[in-house]
Chains A and B, each alone.
Chain A
Amino acid sequence: MRTFKVLIAALIVALSLFANAGTPAQTETYFFKLSKSLRGVPPTLEEREEFAKAVQAGTAEAFLQKKTQEYLTDDKFTFKLKQKVDELLKLKQQREFDKTPKETGTSYDRLVSEVIQSNSSWDQLLLAKSYHYMPPIPWDFLSSYNEDAFFFIPNQGHVPSPSFEDYLVPDTKRVERHVAFAPDDLRIAGVVTTPRFFGRYVNTALNKNRRRAAAVFRVFLCDSMAPSVPATDNQGEKQDFDTIFPGHSSYTEDDIRRNTQADVHGQLMDCKSCHYKLDPLGQVFGFSAATLAPLPAAGSLTFKGQDGRAVAIPLRGLGDMAQALIQQTEYEKCQVRHFWRWYIGKDVPVSRHKEQELVKKFNDLGRKTQDFVSYLVSLPEFKERPQALTQDQLLARRAVNIMKNCNDCHQSQDKDPDIRNWDLTDLPYSQDADERKDAIRLLRKNLDIDHDGVGKKMPPKDSLWKLSQDDFAILRDWINRGAPDFDGNAQVSPKGTP
């Protein structure tokens, strides 16, 4: 039995077919996609019969809208979306559907599930000040987080003590706990101040909570700390230095010497491109180690916005951090991109214009989770049958993947507004043919694509990011084929054509 199954498995995996060139998914296909995407199972046979009747009666659209709302309130939808949040935070995947969230759920699990289930604003993932959880299993200490210690120690200085029954008697039922902090408690910030987040992003003396800060930047602002290119002129360098060492103008020689000794890593030009963001935010986690500290700690939210603005918001604690984050445009864009990736697909590009539309809708809907998902699954991009990409379409995607690195620097640091506002990942580069030609010529020349970057101007010599030979090959191929856009349409004449 095993032999033939292995053979079949080999056949299945070895062979592949291209799909036909794409056609819009028919309504019934959309129904299947809706059901599988939202709740992980195809429509039941009974639902398919109901759908067929609705189609005959001309009420398919209303039927699908009703089903969408029904699926969004299904426990399976909550579980699936929570899994995506777990992946985003790089947490261990929750395995058991039936036993969650009430029976085994930690404070993090319960909070995320409740935000989804109650169609709350997505911001509650940061703003929540109360938690439900099951107390730790005292007799199985190693397998469960000590949520009691995490939440009670900072408040009361002692942990609720289990009883002898809790430890010793096999059938003792555990009773759910609820802990509510004051709405203005500066220490508390939703999922960030939960044992699972603290447990995933542990702290050490060397780390000084930078790991937690980096996770916050990545998850909530989509800033993955790409290495920057240091400023190459005195004005730029001074600006950078002012941002990172705001008090330096009053330093004495002794102060400078001491600072140099303090944190050599943080002094290096390339390192500071991340540390100027991480260190002030790490300070906000303050004295929190394995559990929440009894007192909040001050720091700041510091970064350069995508529009080049300098953000430096003083924070009194993690509660302030939560409030500050949800007000940033980078937060809005980042969260809608997460949802886009989850429900439309990583491989479906989002243009700037589309991103603006999504952000507007996200805000118009009060950032409510289910409502925004409902909107996404009504979009043409969700309804369209995904198609196998042509070579040109694939090349376009690979090319912009490389260009993302250019965006990371240019969009935040370039002094020339034309370059700063040029989104190298947004194709086509212009509606005007001459402008497109100029853009491609500029790319070709500045990167010296034809010679694998031997005479390149970009990226600069001291950039931490460099193109590989494969990258040059992809870009060369892409440009020679006319720099096709995502639909496979050439932006310029392919090489060898007039």
Chain B
Amino acid sequence: MRTLGTILLLATVGFSPFAKGSFEENAHRYMSGQDIIWSLSMFFDFSKNSNNKEVCTELRALNETLAGGNSPITGEPISPSPTQGTVLWITGCIDEYFASYNVLVGDPIRAKRLLGEEFYKSVTDFRLWQPWADVPENLQRALIRHMVAAFLGSDDVIKDFGFIQNPDDFREQLFIAAQTRTQATILQIVTLLAMNLSVRDEFLSY
């Protein structure tokens, strides 16, 4: 997970630009820290993380400044919008989750939500640590299609949000980026997709 290729993968996959303008004056309402934990828990059971599970399942002193908490002295948010720290917090939890837990075996309900019925049924043949390159293209695309919809919503919702003008192009970018990772396993691609989608504005705000 330290290669330049991975960096490029995420860079080309796309980034989630936070809305311009101050949080108070403009556009998007971000979910609260507790909302982020609840929303992520639809796909990930962070209590299974071998490290730092509390930071991923509860708001505490360590993470509440990253998650939109208010200062009780002023009553105002400590930070008006998500920060680099927020991104690192979310992606760190997801990374640790996949590293420490076999979601296919341990949590079929979440696995299906995450991967989609079609890919979930087939991946037991492949197993998550098999090469991504061995997965038939139609299943690769099915996975990407499902994960985008699961995290961001349908094409109508995505377009309406305004950042992605053409969801098909967006999915194509994800597909191409995944193909460049010739040595990646299925698990690595799923991890990268999950990390990328879960920090997008379309997931974190409304």
Q: List chain A positions with a Cβ less than 8 A from chain B.
A: 1-13, 15-20, 23, 25-26, 28-29, 32-33, 36-37, 40-42, 44-45, 48, 76, 79-80, 83, 86-88, 90-93, 95-97, 200, 345-347, 385-389, 394, 397-398
Contacts of A389 in B (CB 8 A): 21, 25-27
Given A12-B199, A19-B161, A42-B42, 19 other A-B residues pairs in contact with their CB atoms under 8 A: A4-B1, A6-B84, A6-B88, A13-B83, A16-B20, A29-B153, A36-B31, A36-B35, A40-B32, A41-B35, A48-B154, A80-B35, A87-B75, A90-B70, A93-B69, A95-B60, A97-B38, A385-B160, A385-B162
Contacts of B25 in A (CB 8 A): 347, 389, 394, 397-398
Contact of B18 among A12, A345, A385 (CB under 8 A): A12
B92 within 8 A of A: yes
Closest Cβ neighbor of B81 among chain A residues: A13
Chain B proximity of A96: nearest CB distance (Å): 6
Contact of B87 among A13, A17, A48 (CB under 8 A): A13
Closest Cβ neighbor of A27 among chain B residues: B156
Within 8 A of A (CB), among B133-168: 150, 153-154, 156-157, 160-163
Which listed segment binds A: B4-12, B100-108, B123-131, B179-187? B4-12
Could you tell me if B32 and A80 are in contact, using CB atoms closer than 8 angstroms? yes
Closest Cβ neighbor of A24 among chain B residues: B160
Contacts of A347 in B (CB 8 A): 24-26
Contact of A87 among B27, B70, B113, B154 (CB under 8 A): B70
Q: How far is the CA of A10 from the CA of B83 in the complex (A)?
A: 9
- Known A40-B32, A40-B39; judge A5-B150 contact (CB<8 A): no
- Known A17-B20, A389-B25; judge A90-B72 contact (CB<8 A): yes
Q: How far is the CA of A10 from the CA of B85 in the complex (A)?
A: 10
Contact of A93 among B24, B42, B64 (CB under 8 A): B64
Could you tell me if B58 and A95 are in contact, using CB atoms closer than 8 angstroms? yes
Could you tell me if A346 and B24 are in contact, using CB atoms closer than 8 angstroms? yes
Contacts of A11 in B (CB 8 A): 11, 15
Closest Cβ neighbor of A20 among chain B residues: B162
Could you tell me if A15 and B17 are in contact, using CB atoms closer than 8 angstroms? yes
Contacts of A387 in B (CB 8 A): 27
Q: How far is the CA of A9 from the CA of B88 in the complex (A)?
A: 7
Could you tell me if A45 and B150 are in contact, using CB atoms closer than 8 angstroms? yes
Closest Cβ neighbor of B151 among chain A residues: A42
Could you tell me if B72 and A92 are in contact, using CB atoms closer than 8 angstroms? yes
Contacts of B7 in A (CB 8 A): 4, 7-8
B176 within 8 A of A: no
Proximity bits, B81-100, A CB within 8 Å = 1, else 0: 00110011001100100000
Contacts of A95 in B (CB 8 A): 34, 58-60, 64
Could you tell me if B160 and A8 are in contact, using CB atoms closer than 8 angstroms? no
Q: How far is the CA of A3 from the CA of B6 in the complex (A)?
A: 11
In the complex, which of the residues B6, B64, B73, B162 has the most CB atoms of chain A within 10 Å of its own CB atom?
B162
Contacts of B27 in A (CB 8 A): 19, 386-389
Contact of A5 among B35, B74, B87, B156 (CB under 8 A): B87
Contacts of B157 in A (CB 8 A): 26, 28-29, 32
Chain B proximity of A37: nearest CB distance (Å): 6
Within 8 A of A (CB), among B7-64: 7, 10-11, 15-21, 24-29, 31-32, 34-35, 38-39, 42, 58-60, 64
Could you tell me if B34 and A40 are in contact, using CB atoms closer than 8 angstroms? yes
Could you tell me if B29 and A9 are in contact, using CB atoms closer than 8 angstroms? no
Could you tell me if A83 and B26 are in contact, using CB atoms closer than 8 angstroms? no
Chain B proximity of A339: nearest CB distance (Å): 14
Could you tell me if B84 and A10 are in contact, using CB atoms closer than 8 angstroms? yes
Q: How far is the CA of A9 from the CA of B153 in the complex (A)?
A: 23
Could you tell me if B153 and A42 are in contact, using CB atoms closer than 8 angstroms? yes
Contacts of A397 in B (CB 8 A): 25
Chain B proximity of A41: nearest CB distance (Å): 5
Closest Cβ neighbor of B71 among chain A residues: A90
Could you tell me if B160 and A90 are in contact, using CB atoms closer than 8 angstroms? no
- Known A4-B2, A386-B27; judge A37-B206 contact (CB<8 A): yes
Chain B proximity of A441: nearest CB distance (Å): 28
Chain A proximity of B165: nearest CB distance (Å): 8
Chain A proximity of B6: nearest CB distance (Å): 5
Q: How far is the CA of A23 from the CA of B70 in the complex (A)?
A: 32
Q: How far is the CA of A454 from the CA of B83 in the complex (A)?
A: 41
Closest Cβ neighbor of A21 among chain B residues: B162
13 of the cross-chain contacts (CB-CB < 8 Å) are A4-B7, A8-B87, A9-B88, A11-B15, A23-B160, A28-B156, A36-B206, A41-B39, A83-B32, A90-B73, A93-B59, A385-B161, A388-B20
Q: How far is the CA of A251 from the CA of B77 in the complex (A)?
A: 49
Q: How far is the CA of A15 from the CA of B72 in the complex (A)?
A: 31
Closest Cβ neighbor of B42 among chain A residues: A41
Could you tell me if A17 and B28 are in contact, using CB atoms closer than 8 angstroms? no
Chain A proximity of B144: nearest CB distance (Å): 16
Could you tell me if A5 and B113 are in contact, using CB atoms closer than 8 angstroms? no
Could you tell me if B34 and A386 are in contact, using CB atoms closer than 8 angstroms? no
Q: How far is the CA of A59 from the CA of B160 in the complex (A)?
A: 21
Could you tell me if A13 and B84 are in contact, using CB atoms closer than 8 angstroms? yes
In the complex, which of the residues A19, A25, A32, A91 has the most CB atoms of chain B within 10 Å of its own CB atom?
A19
Q: How far is the CA of A91 from the CA of B69 in the complex (A)?
A: 11
Contacts of A13 in B (CB 8 A): 18, 83-84, 87
Q: How far is the CA of A41 from the CA of B42 in the complex (A)?
A: 8
Contacts of A44 in B (CB 8 A): 42
Q: How far is the CA of A387 from the CA of B29 in the complex (A)?
A: 11
Could you tell me if A40 and B38 are in contact, using CB atoms closer than 8 angstroms? yes
Q: How far is the CA of A44 from the CA of B39 in the complex (A)?
A: 10
Closest Cβ neighbor of B40 among chain A residues: A41
Chain B proximity of A401: nearest CB distance (Å): 9
Chain A proximity of B3: nearest CB distance (Å): 8
Contact of B35 among A19, A25, A40, A45 (CB under 8 A): A40
Q: How far is the CA of A386 from the CA of B95 in the complex (A)?
A: 32
Could you tell me if A28 and B154 are in contact, using CB atoms closer than 8 angstroms? yes
Chain A proximity of B20: nearest CB distance (Å): 4
Q: How far is the CA of A388 from the CA of B157 in the complex (A)?
A: 17
Contacts of B84 in A (CB 8 A): 6, 9-10, 12-13
